Chain A
Amino acid sequence: MAAIAPTAAAGPLVARSLTRAFGARVALRDVSFELAPGELVGVIGPNGAGKTTLLSILAGVLEPDSGELRGAGRTAGWVPQQPAVYSRLSVSENLRLFARLERVADVNAAVERMLDHAGLRAHAADRVDRLSGGLRQRVNVAIGLLRDPDVLLLDEPSSALDPRQRARLWDLILDLAGRGTTVVFSTHDIAEVQRYADRVLLLADGELLFCGTCDELVDIVGLRSARRASPDRGGGVSSSSPSRMPSAGAHGSADEGRGRPPDLESALVAFLRGRGH
């Protein structure tokens, strides 16, 4: 995979009291957090929690009803949940169009770079409507990366991908994060968050219930103490469980030196129920 030029040190991404309603339904309520350059942050929560709304506000697609946002917006790279590409254009035509609209300095160079980084070289002349779902998602991601952004926002990026494609995508993302790009991604896959995220934002019914590391989340949902109290309880995730992803650059192995909480997903569900969500 070709190296990506290192980004200049970027300021933090700061969100203060972001609120957004759609009619009577409040999709996001008073959400505040700060992210550092190069951080890899996972946004999790049940359906309707406000994940997509949050990412859309961070991407500048939506305006918040109130609150303040610094460091993201229209300069961020954005990969929406549903691929936003023109299906009757080819891969290279899509990249070229959006590179021009994004006012990238060297359009041809940006297109060539993305074709290589996203593994789309062999499909450059293919119409997008003739590609598989995974390849379409790769085009979607490539468009989001065209301007080499300081902040990259991905809304459930791996949902349509097979394991090999998912691995390749995470290689790319981890490389970007290692070079200083702040990456915010939403997902329903808790294991993905555990494996890759430096920090987690837990949303439910528009409220930010938690912002911190996975270890801190483990403590909050009470799994670590439960595991110590009942070491023989079965059903937990073994520390020798095979990792689906190859170890990646700056973040090293996600499993090294870290206790893996058993069945975090179930514990999170119980935690949310306990909070009335």
Chain B
Amino acid sequence: MRWLLIKDLQILRRSPLLVGLLVAYPVALSLMVGVALSSPPGKPAVAFLDEVAPGHGEVVFAGRRLDVGSLAADLLGSIRPLRVHTLAAAIADVRGGRALAAVVIPADLPAQIRGLLSEGVGSPTVQVYLNTANPLERELVDQALTTRLAQIQQDVSRQLLRVAVGDLHEVLDGGRVQILGQSVALLGLRDAREIVAGAVRALPPGSALRAALAQVVAFADLAVEGLSFAGPVLGSIGSPLVVQRFQLAGATTPAATYAASIAVVVSLMLVAMLLAAGLLSVERSENAYARLARGLVAPRTVLASKVLLAGGLAAGMALAMAAGISAFVTLSWGRVELWVLSLAIGGLSFAALGAALGALARDVSAASLLAVSVSLPVAFLALVPAGAVSPSLSRALAVVSFLLPFRAALEAASRAFTAGSPLPAVAHLAALALAFGAAGALAMRRLRPSGLRSG
């Protein structure tokens, strides 16, 4: 096997494209991935038009002030505003691509809010103009604005509910209200009930008013009881929910580290599978396998040499890539021996799969195509979240992902890079490597020297 490995290394050394792939690729990719993961997401550029005249943005209701201007300022916190002065300018910015969207605060928004609060009619409306050319950009802006608007709506609702609850207390307990600039004393339902109850007690026993006033007292009792609950109920509607999170299973890998793990494992997979498939099919296309197969070297030795070489080179490249990414994203260097173990066994597993594909293909180009065609869907399937598809499809995907190395390699790498033990996943990968090696050995039985069919 030693001479086969040396021979393959000599051949690889004389393939500048391959050498470039193995050396430059991890460097370039780790730089790209590292910069992408370490840079904070930018705010979308949004054209902003506030048509509310200065000094006219306040809404006064029941002694409280609601400032439309401050609500607009909250919205601006989620975007990079490009202030414009006309609707035409806002739309032109969107069409021209300078802004991903335009937000317009209409001049009559304060009046619309006032009408809703005082008469319960109307729907105060903020206008958003979106660029539909790029659906991804549209999603980005839509999400940024929708999230912010939802928060603003919640703030407004909370303020209005506070007003409503306050008014309810005054109806129950009495107080002073502002009517047309005048402060007027309000009796309150409880006091009104006591006054009527006192009047009933003062009436003579046979009085015809006694029964009628008793009904009023009974109604007042019901109203006090009902409205006493209404306050807390309204308050709870206005109060936001508190969500407590519990991590029952799985790793607590940060998102950036997980993304880095994906990048490293995808590269490991592609290089290992393509190299192994290519190295094995080269033996066939060069017709050299015929010489080897007549007893010089056992077929499984040929297979093992390809798997070892491809897996080893791919693991080395992946380690270099992880080292590069660690300059941008936190990867735990104290666990570097686990990195090596995870990537080495992962590389062998991918290489064994690639070698099995190479044994099936007739030439190098077919082997490469087969390796790429298998590897990319494998990666995509393993990355589909369980809740994103139907339960039956999710189960099917889980089975497929279990039988192929990508998910196990990703789990091993992400645990190795952060916390937790990658050993169960490494054991899974080792088993897959053996299984694919056996499949490759079977596939190599059909390798036949070229020209024999012609006799």
Contact = CB atoms under 8 A, between A and B. Distances in A.
Interface in A24-78: 27, 47-53, 56, 59-62, 74, 78
A271 interface: no
Nearest to B450: A82
A63 to B, nearest CB: 10
B409 to A, nearest CB: 31
Contact of A98 (B290, B291, B452): B291
A52 B10 contact: no
Contacts of B7: 86, 89, 93, 97
B297 A101 contact: yes
Contacts of A78: 291, 294
The residue among B286, B287, B291, B296 with the most chain A CB atoms within 10 A of its own CB is B291
Contacts of B295: 60, 74
A60 B455 CA distance: 16
Interface string A176-188: 0000000000000
Contacts of B195: none
B246 interface: no
A55 B293 CA distance: 15
A123 interface: no
Contacts of B14: 88, 127
A81 interface: yes
Contact of A82 (B294, B451, B453, B455): B451
B229 interface: no
B132 interface: no
Given A85-B286, A88-B11, A80 B451 contact: yes
A82 B287 contact: yes
Interface string A190-208: 0000000000000000100
Contact of A61 (B10, B290, B455): B290
Contacts of A80: 287, 290-291, 449, 451
B455 A53 contact: yes
B230 interface: no
Contacts of A86: 7, 11, 286, 288
B15 interface: yes
A60 B291 contact: no
A83 interface: yes
B286 A50 contact: no
Interface of B: 3, 7, 10-11, 14-15, 286-288, 290-297, 448-455
